Each structure stands twice: as structure tokens, then as C-alpha cells.
Structure 1
């Protein structure tokens, strides 16, 4: 079942359950998937690849995390809470997030494989890490771990 089909089902279920936040969030995801598909049509692609679906979801999750941070700084816990609920819903569509231990292990392997020895090699490591870990971990967390491993 494609992500688009799964989202269609979830929209129906959220409507039946009268789950307003889930309905809004899932409709929002569907809107972004459709927009992405429309933008790819000129290149002859009708639907998103699994990688592109993860990209859309990751982008949505990142927006929510950034909003939570901003709302918390502004003392708007009500809005931060709504964003957190939406983030939790989006994360159900993403691949399981890696634990810090799993992440550290993978990053150590990447550092060895690219032959990184110092903080100057951050770019080399990050390029490989972001490709390999796309959708499986937050970019900020990956960067923090890479920096700490290289220092």
C-alpha cells in the first residue's frame, strides 16, 4: 500500500472517529504529497518514490519541530502542544527512528569508511550520513553526534 493510499484510509478513519487534529494533519500531508507529485509531472514522473515520500514527511516533521521550538520560546505552550501532537502523527508514517546508540554506531562506521580524522572532515561525513540516515534520524542530532565524534 502506497503512502498516498494509507493516508486516504487514515483520512476516512479520522473523519469517522471525529479526530480533528489527526484529520487536519493527515490532510496536510496529503496536500504536500499532491503538490510534490504535481511539481514532478513535467519530468514525466506520476507518483512519488518511497524516498521522495520520506523526504516530504521528514520536511513536515522538521517544520513541526522548528515550530515547537519557536512556540516554546515565545511561551505559547498551547500552540507547541498542538504541533507536538501533529509531529507524533507524522512520525507514525516515517521509518522507525534510530536510538542514539544505533546512530553513534552507524556514524562511527561512516567516519571509518570515509577516513575522517578531524573536524575538517565534517562535510565528508555529513554528506554520507545524511544520505544513509535520511528519515531515520533528525538532521540536527546527526550533526551533533558527528561533531562530537570528530572532536
Structure 2
């Protein structure tokens, strides 16, 4: 079953169970997927959908920090609930040890020697770790590995 089919099935289940918060988050996700498909005139695969979910989670995390600064705990709770719904569709996250192992392997594979090769290493890692790791943390690990 594709990720899109799973999301559609979950939307139907949320409708039947009358879970308005969960239903709203799923509808937002389906809307973003449909928008990308219409804009690019393609049918998205699981990797494209995962990228959309990752972007939506990042947006909600940014919103949470803004709402916390403004003292809007009601909106923080709503955004946190949406993150929980969206995170269920993301692939399993890699541990920091697994990420470090991947970074070392790609650095050795590409023959990267210094900070000037960071783009080459990140390009390979982005395709390997998309959706399974926080790319800002990966970037920090690459920077540290290339600084040696």
C-alpha cells in the first residue's frame, strides 16, 4: 500500500471516528500533496510525499516557537497535535550513531578532503537520508568530519 493510499484510508477512519483534530491535519496534508501534484503535473511517489510531510513538520515547529514566545499555549497544543499526526507518516528516524556511520562512509566514498567538498558529501547524503534524519544535524556532522 502506498503512503498516499494509507493517508486516504486514515482520513476516512478519522471521519468515521469524528476525530476533528486528526482529520484537519490529514486534510491539510492531502491538500499539500494535491497542490504539488497539480503544480508539477506529476503523481507523487512516497519520497515526494515524505518531503512534503517533512516540510510541514518544520513549519509547525517554527510556528510552535513563535506561539510560545507570544504565550499562546492553545495554538502550541494544536500545532503539537498536528506534528504528532504528520510524524506517523514519516519513515523511522536513524540514530545519531547510524547517521555518523553514514557520514563517515560517504566522506570515504567521495574522497572528500576538506570543507570545500561539503556540497559533494551533502548531495549524496541528502538522497540517502531524506526523511530519515534531520539534515541540519547531518550537516553539522559533515562539517565536523571534514574539519579534521
TM-score of the superposed pair, with normalisation by structure 2: 0.87
User: 2:8 corresponds to which residue?
Assistant: 8
User: 2:53 corresponds to which residue?
Assistant: 57
CA RMSD in angstroms comes to 1.8
| Whole-angstrom CA distance in 2 between matches of 1:117 and 1:90 | 38
- Larger mean CA deviation between 23-32 and 88-97 belongs to 88-97
**Aligned pairs (5 A) from 1:110-125:** 110-125=106-121
User: 1:87 corresponds to which residue?
Assistant: 83
Say which structure, 1 or 2, has more relative contact order (CA 8 Å, 6+ apart).
2
User: 1:71 corresponds to which residue?
Assistant: 67
Runs of 5+ consecutive residues of structure 2 not aligned to the other structure: none
Shift in Å at residue 18 of structure 1?
Answer: 2.5
Runs of 5+ consecutive residues of structure 1 not aligned to the other structure: none
| Whole-angstrom CA distance in 2 between matches of 1:129 and 1:29 | 26
User: 1:136 corresponds to which residue?
Assistant: 132
How many pairs align? Answer: 147
TM-score of the superposed pair, with normalisation by structure 1: 0.85
